[in-house]
A and B are shown apart, each in its own frame.
Chain A
Amino acid sequence: MTASYRLSSLCITTSIFSSHGTRQMKVRLTGFGGLSTFIRPPLHRLKSTPCALSSSVLFSSSSPPASQSHQVPLFLRVPKYATPVSDLQKWYSWASDLAASVGSTFLVSDNGPDSSLLCRELRWLLEDALQEDIDPSLIHQVGVNSAQREVNLKTGIEDLYKLWIQRIEERRPFQYIVGCEHWRDLVLCVQEGVLIPRPETEIIIDLVADVISSNRVLKEGFWADLGTGSGAIAIGTARALGGCGTVIATDLSPVAVKVASFNVQRYGLQGVVEVREGSWFEPLKDVQGKLAGLVSNPPYIPSENIPGLQAEVGRHEPKLALDGGVDGMDHLLHLCQGAASMLRTGGFFALETNGEKQSKLILDYMEKEHRGTFYNAKAVPDFAGVLRFVTAFRV
């Protein structure tokens, strides 16, 4: 269980494992400054400096401090705030107006959400804030009876005003507002410091399910999700494995480790998914050459694109999970290289990329640098037809 790794000259102390022999590792970070060298994969070092600079700068400036505990998402809180329906209706109509006032300005400025998407979010916010047995359509019901009624909310009405202002004025992502993201058939808790899982990534689980449906050996083996974030891919994979096999999820960010661990517990997968803190393959020394599968959605956005990102993404989501270096390839190539040594014979790997260009570069790289190491390598499109994924098997 113990994964030990040497950290460069950094002041990180690790104390590993509780008395239960569980998998969660506690790491205390006492400084961020030098971490860029740590997250930088070997290949990265060969590349030009700007990206190293930018990633270190961005990381240290925007990454939130590791809090002691994860935040409880709205939908999991206790509905203890009794609120008159009329007040709720007032808030809802205020929030709808605010959403409507946005029109398509966000869309035009940075491809952000338009009014209709914001209205959808608003409906979901209401859904999460309401006590479970209350039908959200009460918001549209007029009449004295319903307006005088009280309903229980999971947060105060003032907080709802505050949250919606954050949503519109600060462009704080909806998923951070409600503290969760619905992804496949899962509801995953997320918070600042953790990448919000994207719908495209849902397909990775289908790819895994396809592979294991006809391969018992892979189904029962060790799988790894590198840079797990909220734990989405790891949990999805574990459920696809259906009780066989084990998934090890790693992340460099302590916040991500906490959030992922919480999500794993919420789905009762403590015995199946093991969350380890550390960079890419570092915490996986014990399973080198034994992995049946390796899946990852690593940071792949080219550094120069970061400033122009949609505000919800660029201003609020962790750069650590987005910035892929100069051409966005740094981590992808590192993972590709690592896969060669980590996977067992016949092992499967799947990576998400920024699209066709990166997918082709990876395929080229595998062909040139790892000739004879992989077979059946191919780019797989997402639902929009973008060649979003690269999959291959270890010879």
Chain B
Amino acid sequence: MEVLFRPTNATAAASELSLKPPRSGCLVHRVNQGLVFLHLKSYYLRSFSFCTLLPPSSHSFTSAIHSVPDSRVSEEVSSDSREWALQDFYSLRRDVEIVSNRVEEIRSSAGLEQLERELVDLELKASDSSFWDDRTKAQKILLALNDVKDKIKQLSDFKTQVEDAETIIKLTEEMDSVDGGLLEEATDIIKELNKALDRFELTELLSGPYDKEGAVISITAGAGGTDAQDWADMLLRMYMRWGEKQRYKTRIVEKSMGEEAGIKSATIELEGRYAYGYISGEKGTHRIVRQSPFNAKGLRQTSFSGVEVMPLLPEESMDVEIPEEDLDISFSRAGGKGGQNVNKVETAVRITHIPTGVTVRCTEERTQLANKIKAMSRLKAKLLVIAEEQRASEIKQIRGDVVKAEWGQQIRNYVFHPYKLVKDVRTGHETSDIISVMDGELEHFIKAYLRYKYTKSSNGED
């Protein structure tokens, strides 16, 4: 998440800094700084839209400049080291500001007040005289109580720590000297705090019941012939690259080739912690706009490919019973005489859950039975995920119409021509570096989506 916050604050800081005209007496240094800031500015201004939403920086940079006397800066002898100290101080102060905002953001989005109410409630329950009558229930409550306490403590620790760092900054500003030791301490605090915040956010953002699991990604070429099949193949490569970069165990388990080029469909399995949590937001329709190499006239063409993501759940963890009459199981080896007359490796199995219309197909295994078992387990995983998304407590409550609409939703545009742009429809996150994205650089998109999902769900709860 820091990716999202840093630029925004830094933009504010950087623009303020660069607006400050260089003053006499320390021209050289100022020019240097100007260059640095200019660079920063051009880098960060790309995300300018974020900046407008932000509250103005609480610390005025001007005061910092004043608080460091010009004479000190312009002293020739130790100018190098002092220049660095000054730079360090600036960047440290910026870091502290960023982290301070980040802490505020996290404390509010984690629902601190709500947590405190929960704590009171749980403590009340725990102090009840009949508390230990039901041991299992008591254990559960105690566990929940611990969790809430931990969380509150973490959140208040964040605040104390960032306040410590802020105090050091204020102190430095007010004092006429730079205390290396103190600044060192603040730097350490910020470093550790950032790590802790990352961890906290990760567990918050990836707190879905299946987020820890591995993932199954299925890619299906949409209508659009060879161009769409080639697009599906490009997506396959993108996710393979992403998986490899994350050091997940990545395996293509099924791949059905297109007639001329590309693929009709493919399925990848990613094994590794949090694979599902990260990649689940990729599900939906991905749209490409380009001058198709498969179009004789070289005209601009739009194609689509569908991506589905399911958790890779161990069979025993899926406690779902689906009544047989709700299932429509079909096998590819239908039609014709079958039996001894035919020898074809048609082992594909397709299962449709009739009430919701959710369908899975499994072709990768070498026997029908194995494909049926695998298809069943994928179907269960899919239904569980949908139930969770719809906050349905049972498969029976899933609303099929909603599934259809949601799973096919267009989520991202990849424009190769006439300009280069990848833009997520949901989060608005975008980049012109389409090559890196196709090489599996999905981190920013994924984080933006997780953030978006998190904000959406916490708003929804309020």
Contact = CB atoms under 8 A, between A and B. Distances in A.
Interface of A: 96, 100, 111-113, 115-117, 119-121, 123-124, 135, 137, 140, 173-175, 182-185, 195-196, 198-202, 297, 299-301, 305, 309-310, 312-313, 317, 321-322, 352-355, 382-386, 388
B402 interface: no
Please indicate which of the listed interface residues A111, A199, A200 has the most CB atoms of chain B within 10 Å of its own CB.
Answer: A199
Interface in B335-378: 335-347, 363, 365-370
6 contacts: A113-B344, A119-B256, A173-B343, A299-B340, A322-B340, A384-B334
Given A198-B339, A322-B340, A354-B339, A117 B366 contact: no
Contacts of B342: 111, 198, 310, 313
Contacts of B333: 199-200, 383-384
A137 B251 contact: yes
A173 to B, nearest CB: 6
Contact of A183 (B252, B339, B363, B367): B367
Nearest to B371: A199
B345 A310 contact: no
A324 to B, nearest CB: 9
Contacts of B255: 123
Contact of B367 (A173, A195, A199, A353): A199
A121 B345 contact: yes
A182 B331 contact: no
Given A121-B345, A313-B343, A384 B367 contact: no
B327 to A, nearest CB: 13
B345 A116 contact: no
Given A111-B342, A182-B366, A196-B343, 16 more contacts: A111-B336, A117-B344, A120-B363, A137-B251, A173-B343, A184-B367, A195-B340, A198-B338, A200-B333, A202-B369, A299-B340, A301-B340, A317-B343, A354-B337, A384-B331, A388-B339
Contacts of A353: 339
B435 interface: no
Nearest to B249: A135
Contacts of B4: none
Interface centre among B255, B259, B366 (most CB of A within 10 A): B366
How many of chain B's residues touch chain A, expressed as a range?
20 to 34
Contacts of B368: 199, 202, 383
B257 interface: yes
Given A202-B368, A388-B338, A140 B252 contact: yes
Q: Which of B334, B347, B367 has the most C-beta atoms of chain A within 10 angstroms of its own C-beta?
A: B367
Interface string B252-264: 1001110100001
Given A124-B345, A183-B367, A200 B339 contact: yes
A198 B340 contact: yes
B345 A113 contact: yes
B330 to A, nearest CB: 8
A322 B340 CA distance: 7
B40 interface: no
Contact of A182 (B251, B338, B367): B367
A140 B251 CA distance: 11
A238 to B, nearest CB: 17
B262 to A, nearest CB: 13
Nearest to A183: B367
Contact of A185 (B256, B346, B367): B367
B251 A117 contact: no
Contacts of A300: 339-340
B329 interface: yes
Contact of B366 (A124, A354, A355): A124
Interface string B230-263: 0000000000000000000011100111010000
A35 B259 CA distance: 48
A184 B369 contact: yes
